[in-house]
Amino acid sequence: MIAFWINYAAKFHFPGKKVMYIFPLAIQALPAVLLCAFMLLCQESPRGWREEFQEIVDQLEHERRLIGDATFWNLQREMRTIAGDRKRVLVSITLIVCQQMTGTNAINTYAPTIFKNLGMKGTTTSLFGTGIYGIVKVMSCICFSMFFFVWFFVPETKGISLEEMDQL
């Protein structure tokens, strides 16, 4: 959502300039630059590194002992034969395929063109419409996530209909 508004601001404040294309990309790099800069300010002793490294080595060795002879193909066969794992994989793949079939990527890519075709004049106006679309998209995702959480994870509402939920 923030990227929509950064593009709108760049078009609004730097119309027709080369900066209009560089500014949004530079803003995206800002968190990474800040992370690298502040990582250099972290104080850690070499002794802490050695202890942490040894803990990691011990954990990896423990996991290797637990896995045993689990090769890639053994794990793939196990995934297909264990019903719970198979269901998890199928649900994940189905969600990804259905998300791609909704066309949201096409709407994101062509939103300025779509808003122009709907009668919004000018690039700045269509970018503003794209920003509004971003807000609507984020808010609808938040609403759905809250509904999903209540429906499936709040014990009082688990498995009951919406009518029964109204009576609670």
CA–centroid distance for 82 within its chain:
29
3-state secondary structure of 37: helix
3-state secondary structure of 10: helix
Name residue, tokens 């968190």.
31
Using the 8-state DSSP alphabet, how is residue 41 labeled? T
Name residue, tokens 């530079």.
26
pLDDT in tens, 96-122: 898 888 887 787 778 777 777 888 777
What whole-number distance in Å separates Cα of residue 91 and Cα of residue 158? 20
pLDDT band for 35, please (50, 70, 90 cuts): very high
pLDDT attached to residue 91: 87
Question: Are residues 1 and 135 in contact, defined by beta-carbon separation less than 8 angstroms?
Answer: yes
Model-level pTM? 0.45
Check pLDDT > 90 for residue 34: yes
Q: Can you tell me the mean pLDDT for 74-92?
A: 84
Domain boundaries of the chain, sorted by first residue: 1-14+70-168
Check pLDDT > 70 for residue 128: yes
pLDDT attached to residue 45: 64
Long-range contacts (CB closer than 8 Å, 24 or more residues apart) made by 21-30: 28/3
pLDDT attached to residue 168: 64
pLDDT band for 73, please (50, 70, 90 cuts): confident
Question: Are residues 27 and 156 in contact, defined by beta-carbon separation less than 8 angstroms?
Answer: no
Question: Are residues 57 and 50 in contact, defined by beta-carbon separation less than 8 angstroms?
Answer: no
What whole-number distance in Å separates Cα of residue 24 and Cα of residue 124? 15
